[in-house]
Amino acid sequence: MKKLEDYVTTIPDFPKKGIMFRDVTTIIQDKDGFRMAIDGLSNSLKDVEYDLIAGSESRGFIFGAPVAYKEDKGFVLFRKKGKLPREVYSQEYDLEYGTATLEVHRDSIKPGDKVVIIDDLVATGGTTEAMIKLIEKCGGIVVKIVFVMELRGLKGREHLAGYDVDSLIQYEGI
Protein backbone atom coordinates (compact mmCIF):
# COMPACT_ATOMS: atom_id res chain seq x y z
CA MET A 1 0.00 0.00 0.00
CA LYS A 2 1.31 3.44 -0.92
CA LYS A 3 2.10 6.09 1.68
CA LEU A 4 1.43 9.79 1.15
CA GLU A 5 5.13 10.53 0.70
CA ASP A 6 5.15 8.13 -2.28
CA TYR A 7 3.08 10.73 -4.15
CA VAL A 8 5.61 13.53 -3.58
CA THR A 9 8.10 14.17 -6.36
CA THR A 10 11.51 15.39 -5.20
CA ILE A 11 13.54 17.57 -7.55
CA PRO A 12 17.20 17.90 -6.53
CA ASP A 13 18.96 21.27 -6.81
CA PHE A 14 15.79 23.29 -7.46
CA PRO A 15 15.48 26.26 -7.34
CA LYS A 16 19.18 26.28 -6.50
CA LYS A 17 21.97 23.82 -5.77
CA GLY A 18 21.61 22.02 -2.44
CA ILE A 19 17.82 22.34 -2.25
CA MET A 20 15.65 19.22 -2.44
CA PHE A 21 12.37 20.65 -3.76
CA ARG A 22 9.35 18.64 -2.56
CA ASP A 23 6.61 19.03 -5.17
CA VAL A 24 3.15 18.84 -3.60
CA THR A 25 1.41 19.10 -6.99
CA THR A 26 2.05 15.42 -7.63
CA ILE A 27 -0.08 14.63 -4.56
CA ILE A 28 -2.89 16.83 -5.86
CA GLN A 29 -2.88 15.51 -9.43
CA ASP A 30 -3.28 11.88 -8.35
CA LYS A 31 -6.81 11.03 -7.14
CA ASP A 32 -5.51 8.51 -4.61
CA GLY A 33 -2.77 10.83 -3.33
CA PHE A 34 -5.16 13.77 -3.06
CA ARG A 35 -7.75 11.65 -1.24
CA MET A 36 -5.06 10.36 1.13
CA ALA A 37 -3.92 13.93 1.92
CA ILE A 38 -7.46 15.22 2.53
CA ASP A 39 -8.35 12.19 4.66
CA GLY A 40 -5.09 12.54 6.62
CA LEU A 41 -5.71 16.23 7.32
CA SER A 42 -9.30 15.49 8.31
CA ASN A 43 -8.25 12.63 10.60
CA SER A 44 -5.78 14.91 12.38
CA LEU A 45 -8.79 17.00 13.51
CA LYS A 46 -10.90 14.17 14.94
CA ASP A 47 -10.45 15.22 18.58
CA VAL A 48 -10.34 19.00 17.97
CA GLU A 49 -13.25 21.30 18.77
CA TYR A 50 -13.35 24.11 16.21
CA ASP A 51 -15.65 26.37 14.21
CA LEU A 52 -13.73 27.30 11.06
CA ILE A 53 -10.87 26.19 8.82
CA ALA A 54 -8.51 28.83 7.42
CA GLY A 55 -6.18 28.54 4.44
CA SER A 56 -3.83 30.90 2.67
CA GLU A 57 -3.48 31.55 -1.01
CA SER A 58 -3.11 29.34 -2.93
CA ARG A 59 -2.33 25.78 -1.86
CA GLY A 60 -3.93 26.33 1.53
CA PHE A 61 -7.15 26.76 -0.46
CA ILE A 62 -6.57 23.50 -2.31
CA PHE A 63 -6.17 21.46 0.87
CA GLY A 64 -8.26 23.46 3.36
CA ALA A 65 -11.49 23.83 1.38
CA PRO A 66 -12.08 20.09 0.81
CA VAL A 67 -11.38 19.40 4.49
CA ALA A 68 -13.86 22.13 5.47
CA TYR A 69 -16.45 20.58 3.17
CA LYS A 70 -15.81 17.08 4.51
CA GLU A 71 -15.96 18.31 8.14
CA ASP A 72 -19.03 20.52 7.54
CA LYS A 73 -17.19 23.71 8.55
CA GLY A 74 -16.83 27.16 7.02
CA PHE A 75 -13.63 28.09 5.19
CA VAL A 76 -11.86 31.44 5.62
CA LEU A 77 -9.60 32.71 2.84
CA PHE A 78 -6.35 34.54 3.55
CA ARG A 79 -5.24 36.36 0.41
CA LYS A 80 -2.40 38.42 -0.92
CA LYS A 81 -2.74 42.19 -0.51
CA GLY A 82 -5.42 43.87 -2.57
CA LYS A 83 -7.44 40.76 -3.51
CA LEU A 84 -10.28 40.98 -0.99
CA PRO A 85 -13.19 43.41 -1.65
CA ARG A 86 -14.41 44.21 1.87
CA GLU A 87 -12.73 45.77 4.88
CA VAL A 88 -9.62 43.77 5.82
CA TYR A 89 -6.93 43.30 8.42
CA SER A 90 -3.41 43.16 6.94
CA GLN A 91 -0.22 41.55 8.17
CA GLU A 92 3.22 41.92 6.62
CA TYR A 93 5.61 38.96 6.89
CA ASP A 94 9.10 38.04 5.76
CA LEU A 95 9.91 36.02 2.67
CA GLU A 96 13.27 34.58 1.70
CA TYR A 97 14.02 37.68 -0.39
CA GLY A 98 11.77 40.45 0.91
CA THR A 99 8.33 40.82 2.44
CA ALA A 100 4.71 40.14 1.54
CA THR A 101 1.34 41.08 2.99
CA LEU A 102 -1.52 38.75 3.83
CA GLU A 103 -5.10 39.93 4.34
CA VAL A 104 -8.38 38.60 5.72
CA HIS A 105 -11.87 40.11 5.78
CA ARG A 106 -12.44 41.70 9.18
CA ASP A 107 -15.82 40.00 9.55
CA SER A 108 -14.83 36.48 8.46
CA ILE A 109 -13.79 35.38 11.96
CA LYS A 110 -15.89 36.35 14.95
CA PRO A 111 -14.50 36.89 18.47
CA GLY A 112 -14.22 33.51 20.17
CA ASP A 113 -14.28 31.47 16.95
CA LYS A 114 -11.98 28.45 17.20
CA VAL A 115 -9.93 28.20 14.03
CA VAL A 116 -7.84 25.45 12.42
CA ILE A 117 -5.16 26.49 9.91
CA ILE A 118 -4.48 24.08 7.04
CA ASP A 119 -1.67 24.53 4.51
CA ASP A 120 0.44 22.47 2.17
CA LEU A 121 3.85 23.15 3.67
CA VAL A 122 5.62 24.64 6.64
CA ALA A 123 9.14 25.82 5.93
CA THR A 124 10.11 28.92 7.92
CA GLY A 125 6.60 29.45 9.33
CA GLY A 126 6.30 33.08 8.17
CA THR A 127 2.98 32.77 6.34
CA THR A 128 1.45 30.81 9.20
CA GLU A 129 2.68 33.36 11.76
CA ALA A 130 0.97 36.09 9.72
CA MET A 131 -2.26 34.06 9.65
CA ILE A 132 -2.13 33.54 13.42
CA LYS A 133 -1.72 37.29 14.01
CA LEU A 134 -4.66 38.04 11.74
CA ILE A 135 -6.90 35.40 13.34
CA GLU A 136 -6.09 36.79 16.78
CA LYS A 137 -6.66 40.37 15.56
CA CYS A 138 -10.18 39.26 14.53
CA GLY A 139 -10.67 37.81 18.02
CA GLY A 140 -10.37 34.19 16.92
CA ILE A 141 -8.45 31.43 18.67
CA VAL A 142 -6.06 29.15 16.76
CA VAL A 143 -6.70 25.65 18.11
CA LYS A 144 -4.69 23.55 15.62
CA ILE A 145 -2.35 23.97 12.65
CA VAL A 146 -1.97 21.11 10.17
CA PHE A 147 0.36 20.85 7.18
CA VAL A 148 0.68 18.24 4.48
CA MET A 149 4.49 18.57 4.56
CA GLU A 150 7.06 19.93 6.97
CA LEU A 151 10.65 20.85 6.12
CA ARG A 152 12.17 20.36 9.56
CA GLY A 153 15.54 21.83 8.59
CA LEU A 154 13.98 25.29 8.22
CA LYS A 155 12.64 25.19 11.80
CA GLY A 156 9.17 26.56 11.03
CA ARG A 157 7.65 24.60 13.91
CA GLU A 158 9.89 26.53 16.34
CA HIS A 159 8.31 29.79 15.14
CA LEU A 160 4.89 28.32 15.93
CA ALA A 161 5.76 27.36 19.51
CA GLY A 162 2.77 27.44 21.81
CA TYR A 163 0.39 26.19 19.11
CA ASP A 164 -0.74 22.62 18.39
CA VAL A 165 1.10 21.82 15.14
CA ASP A 166 0.91 18.62 13.12
CA SER A 167 2.13 17.52 9.70
CA LEU A 168 1.40 14.44 7.62
CA ILE A 169 4.92 14.15 6.18
CA GLN A 170 8.21 15.40 7.67
CA TYR A 171 11.47 15.89 5.79
CA GLU A 172 14.66 16.50 7.76
CA GLY A 173 16.44 18.70 5.24
CA ILE A 174 15.49 21.90 3.45
- Cα(77)–Cα(54) distance, integer angstroms: 6
pLDDT of residue 174: 67
Does residue 96 carry a catalytic annotation?
Answer: yes
Q: Among the options 49, 87, 96, 172, which is catalytic? A: 96
Tell me the average pLDDT across 28-56: 98
pLDDT in tens, 70-81: 999 999 999 999
pLDDT in tens, 96-134: 778 999 999 999 999 999 999 999 999 889 999 999 999
pLDDT of residue 64 exceeding 70, the answer is yes
Q: Among the options 5, 57, 59, 152, which is catalytic? A: 59
* Residue 61: partners with Cβ closer than 8 Å, 6 or more residues away: 55, 77
Calculate what percentage of the chain has a pLDDT beyond 90: 86
Q: Count the neighbouring beta carbons within 10 Å of the beta carbon of residue 11.
A: 11
pLDDT of residue 48 exceeding 90, the answer is yes
- Cα(128)–Cα(134) distance, integer angstroms: 10
Does residue 5 carry a catalytic annotation?
Answer: no
